[in-house]
Amino acid sequence: MQPDPQTDTLERTASRFAPATARDRLMVGLDVPTVEEARAIVERTKGAVGTYKIGMQLQFAGGLAFAEELAREGHSIFLDVKLLDIDNTVMKGVENIARMGMRFVTIHAYPKAMRAAVAGLAAAGGDLCLLGVTVLTSMDEDDLHDAGYAGGVEDLVRVRAADARVSGMGGIVCSPHEVGVLREAVGPSLVTVTPGIRPAGSEAGDQKRIMTPGDAIRAGADYIVVARPVVRAPDPRAAAEAIVAEIDAAL
């Protein structure tokens, strides 16, 4: 049987973005209201975290410039913008994000948006992993039905993961509960990023499809995203190091 060139390319892409160590697997969301607070967390956790995620709250408080600052200092930065717009807007947005030196960026996993993002990255170049967001971890099947989807969460995750693979994305975002389903759909060709992570004893908050760090890694997640259990901890560094130890034990 002749090798599939597309599969070979996708697996090389996934390999390029695969985490090398337990620490690399931990993404900490800087979900705080000011850059000053975010900078303090980075200072306290430096060396204990693989990637810092900058989401919507901080983006609207100077977080984009801060993301570039951190990237220039050599940090791996995940810009969680969840792009979804007309093709040209998504494409041009990704071009600029690639030039900012980001490591990861999110696109809502609609086929046209993902194809536009891939085109934008091809135009700009750079070592940027495009992540397709399948179904938000704050949503369950009732929420999907309210939004007009007839099927269940696993069905939609499977479809969107397959679309991400065909589109040429670098990875997908899903809850740890769907990692196994995802691997059936796309194999090892995409890295998996899993929010909805709560260490044992933590409050679920607004998350619905959650799992502990160790269980998420054992389920097959490449990266886990943790925000509140680290950034709101009395000792953020100790909280991050405990999660890395749990990841290491699960590998």
List the catalytic residues. Answer: 82
Kindly report the backbone phi and psi dihedral angles of residue 105, in degrees, each rounded to the nearest multiple of 5, phi listed first.
Answer: -150, 145
Q: Is the dihedral of CA 179, 181, 183, 189 positive or negative?
A: negative
Give the CA-trace dihedral at 53, 57, 58, 60, to 10 degrees.
130
Q: What is the DSSP letter of 59?
A: I
Q: What is the identity of the amino acid at 146?
A: D
CA distance 111 to 87: 10
Contact 207, 198 (CB under 8 A): yes
Angle in degrees, CA 27, 29, 30, rounded to 5: 135
Contact 247, 216 (CB under 8 A): no
Tokens 């925000």 label which residue?
Answer: 227
Token pair recorded at residue 212: 């502990």
CA distance 87 to 118: 11
Q: Are strands 76-83 and 191-194 parallel, antiparallel or unpaired?
A: unpaired
For residue 104, the SS3 value is: strand
Q: Which residues pair with 211 in a beta bridge?
A: 197
